[in-house]
A = this chain, B = another copy of it.
Amino acid sequence: MSILYDERVDGVLPKVDKSALLAELREQLPDMDVLHTQEDLKPYECDGLSAYTTTPMLVVLPERIEQVERLLKLCYQRNVPVVARGAGTGLSGGALPLEQGILLVMARFKHIIEVNPEGRYARVQPGVRNLAISQAAAPYDLYYAPDPSSQIACSIGGNVAENAGGVHCLKYGLTVHNLLKVEILTVEGERMTLGSDALDSPGFDLLALFTGSEGMLGIITEVTVKLLPKPQVAKVLLASFDSVEKAGRAVGEIIAAGIIPGGLEMMDNLAIRAAEDFIHAGYPVDAEAILLCELDGVEADVHDECDRVKVVLIQAGATEVRLARDEAERVKFWAGRKNAFPAVGRLSPDYYCMDGTIPRRELPGVLKGISDLSEEFGLRVANVFHAGDGNMHPLILFDANQPGELDRAETLGGKILELCVKVGGSITGEHGVGREKINQMCSQFNSDELILFHAVKAAFDPSGLLNPGKNIPTLHRCAEFGSMHVHHGKLPFPELERF
């Protein structure tokens, strides 16, 4: 393996001849849509993370798996990199295209193949929207649990590629915990099944390895997800606190009391005020922080848990605890939370949404640390996040038109992620690494770990053609980023020559 994928992006590989490739695609796959004009390519230059844009060389829109198969075989023969894309809602630039590569859009694979209530699974094509699965399962009182905020638009293939999370992941797990089987095409265009319809699959757990691999190990052609029974009832408690640290501590104490809420979300004063101004959810605008704690299950169980959570919240110093009195108020409480990002967006010309995860016990300290950093950098930070699973989303407010503010916001964001890593957390919770966090991976992992990642990548894709330049940084990149220890101008790692 002499040339590595990250280097492709930096232009080490000989250029691909666009018109020759286009001609070959038209000849070999005459019935597959191929976009090639600047005008047609423009809409595909970024995903949900608009900070990074690249015009793809070509965009292909297959409608049948056989087309994807032939396309991959052709690209493999011609040494052309391939970036797969679902609905394009990703927030870390995982589907950012390449100037010298093909953008493979899987959005037309929208067929729900089977919903099986007895086996409690659904078998779907990768372009099926997350919410559409739950809608198809609803007649059987089943649903698909992972619920990213973008669930109305994002597709299951992208969810698998990014191991997507959501409000309910605390109780019901991430995408990886809700999968049975994935059909893929390898970089060589060979069909392969990862996982099985049965409980467990022998050999190495390639399904879990593949989940969250950001399009680097293969192309998803079919997904079998687990379905769960819909909870009979859901109730939500709103607790007010006079400090964010106290609210942070209360989170750990609810969990320590043996309760797993369906959702456990936190908002600080800046976010509360913004959401209240926007949505009129009935939030206490004087509170320094609120917790929204949803309990779901059967009626009696939920009733019992509500009582227990109330006691914990009051002992943890909540100044007020309110149970949403009816379904309308419950929906309103959640509407405030779900619209908190656009609400905060009204406070400032720009904001930068971070995504980091920390162990729950570290919440009070990290919230204090973020507040100190906010003061130090002179930028407001709003906190709205999945507190129960320690997945933070600090929103850094800034004005890109003020000279230096964007830089300051980015530096502050980096510091917050470093703080997460320092306390045993990670640089991403549910948004993935993609292109955005590739440098931060150098802080998260040491060179042995990165080498192992590259070796695993090479086991699936030795040619490095699948989504090069994302997710796993080269050691060269880390050395340049400065996170690795370079002594006296010399790299200490002989492995750098390999990767």
Interface of A toward B, CB cutoff 8 Å: 116-120, 140-142, 163, 165, 169, 173-174, 176-177, 186, 190, 192, 196-206, 208-209, 211-213, 217, 229-230, 252-253, 255-256, 258-260, 297-301, 303-305, 357-361, 389-391, 420, 424-430, 432-433, 437, 441, 444-445, 448-449, 452-453, 455-460, 471-472
Contacts and interface: CB of A to CB of B under 8 A. Distances in A.
Contacts of A213: 204-205
30 contacts: A116-B361, A118-B255, A118-B256, A119-B252, A120-B256, A163-B200, A165-B199, A165-B200, A176-B205, A186-B448, A192-B448, A192-B452, A196-B425, A197-B425, A198-B390, A198-B426, A199-B391, A200-B357, A202-B433, A202-B441, A203-B471, A204-B213, A204-B453, A204-B457, A205-B208, A206-B453, A208-B208, A299-B300, A300-B301, A452-B460
A432 B205 CA distance: 12
B298 A200 contact: no
A212 B202 CA distance: 8
A412 to B, nearest CB: 20
Nearest to A229: B258
Chain B CB count within 10 A is highest, among A118, A456, A457, for: A118
A453 B206 CA distance: 9
Contacts of A174: 199-200
Task: Determine how many copies of this chain the complex contains.
Answer: 2
A209 B457 CA distance: 13
A360 B119 contact: yes
A299 B297 CA distance: 13
Given A198-B359, A203-B433, A203-B471, 19 more contacts: A140-B256, A176-B208, A192-B448, A192-B452, A198-B358, A198-B390, A198-B425, A200-B357, A202-B427, A202-B433, A202-B441, A202-B471, A204-B472, A205-B213, A230-B258, A297-B301, A298-B300, A300-B301, A459-B459
Contact of A472 (B203, B300, B361, B456): B203
Give me the 6 closest cross-chain CB pairs, A-B, nearest first.
Answer: A300-B300, A229-B258, A208-B208, A455-B459, A198-B357, A301-B301
Given A186-B448, A298-B300, A426 B252 contact: no
Nearest to A191: B448
A214 to B, nearest CB: 9
A173 to B, nearest CB: 8
Given A229-B258, A359-B198, A456 B206 contact: yes
A140 B173 CA distance: 23
A180 to B, nearest CB: 9
A197 B361 CA distance: 10
A196 B359 CA distance: 9
A297 B301 CA distance: 8
Contacts of A140: 256
Contact of A205 (B142, B198, B209): B209
A193 B119 CA distance: 36
Contacts of A252: 118-119
A437 B199 contact: no
A174 B303 CA distance: 30
Nearest to A201: B426
Question: Of residues A165, A176, A253, A437, which shows the largest number of chain B Cβ atoms within 10 Å of its Cβ?
Answer: A176
Contacts of A142: 258
